[in-house]
Homo-oligomer: A and B are copies of this chain.
Amino acid sequence: MRPVDFLSDFGLEDPYAAIVQAVLEARAPGVRVRHLAHGLPPGDLRRAAYALFEALPYLPLGAVLLAVVDPGVGTRRRAIAAEGRRFYVGPDNGLFTLAWLLDPPHRAFLLENLPPPKPQGVRPLSGWAPGGHTFHGRDLFAPAAAHLALGLPPEGLGPEVPVESLIRLPLNLSPGPTGEVLTFDRFGNAITTLLSAPLGGWVEVAGRRLRVLRTFGEVQEGEALAYMGSAGLLEIAVNRGSAREALGLKEGMPVRLL
């Protein structure tokens, strides 16, 4: 049985993530579901792409990554599964862009063949027909992830599509010297697309020059710095503050090694 690593923006006020888990466990009895994060900012594809990039190198080969951040649910965007050294299940909206830099898929399939789960062990209510078009995590993606967790062939999910047709966000990672602000974490630290920066060197962003240091503690409270983050990307922070606010940073802003 392959483990399932599950990420979403479902939040923690609702049982959505647990319903998906229940469908996975009903279809693939004994599957291990690991919850990667469900408190992601709703619909934030850059943030989700970064979270998957951070986690991927520590997830086992053969794992099934189920990711549901899906602002286009119910529209015509495709639902896909892709196979690299791990499996990927989710909307075809660019969510896996950064993960696939590390583990490029060689095959992809549309999710068209599996039936959604049906309510079980309940009394019918007059007129009631749950389903709808807004909970693909439960109705479309969980059945596909369970199928792959069981070790069944991805061909069973639906027609194959070229991996080149899979949607990617307009993002790239680079060793430098130029990159951009990728996203922010909950403290307002900026994560950039730069894969390296020399310790003691300088970085320019939003009209400022910042020193590349080892960690926060090397500057005073309220001062800004740059440092290599734990995911291997250059980050911009303000010690005990929000770099996003203090420096007026925005997604996509250019960042340059000097």
Contacts and interface: CB of A to CB of B under 8 A. Distances in A.
A163 interface: no
B58 A195 contact: no
Interface string A75-86: 100000000011
Contacts of A123: 101-104
A36 interface: yes
Contact of A131 (B101, B127, B230): B230
A167 interface: no
Contacts of A230: 130-132, 134-135, 138-139
Given A22-B55, A74-B216, A216-B74, A122 B138 contact: no
A21 B42 contact: no
Contact of A133 (B86, B131, B214): B214
A122 B98 CA distance: 12
A71 to B, nearest CB: 9
A232 B129 contact: yes
Contact of A214 (B36, B42, B58, B74): B74
Given A127-B176, A138-B230, A120 B58 contact: yes
A218 to B, nearest CB: 8
A256 B185 CA distance: 42
Instruction: Determine how many copies of this chain the complex contains.
Output: 3
Given A120-B57, A122-B103, A215-B75, A12 B14 contact: no
Contact of A125 (B11, B21, B22, B102): B102
A166 interface: no
A58 B19 contact: yes
A171 to B, nearest CB: 13
A74 B5 contact: no
10 contacts: A15-B54, A18-B35, A22-B58, A22-B59, A25-B34, A75-B217, A101-B125, A104-B123, A125-B195, A128-B195
Contacts of A232: 128-132
B19 A54 contact: yes
Given A12-B37, A75-B217, 20 more contacts: A11-B186, A12-B39, A13-B39, A13-B41, A14-B54, A15-B51, A22-B58, A22-B60, A25-B34, A26-B58, A58-B117, A61-B120, A73-B215, A74-B215, A85-B121, A102-B122, A102-B125, A131-B228, A135-B230, A138-B230
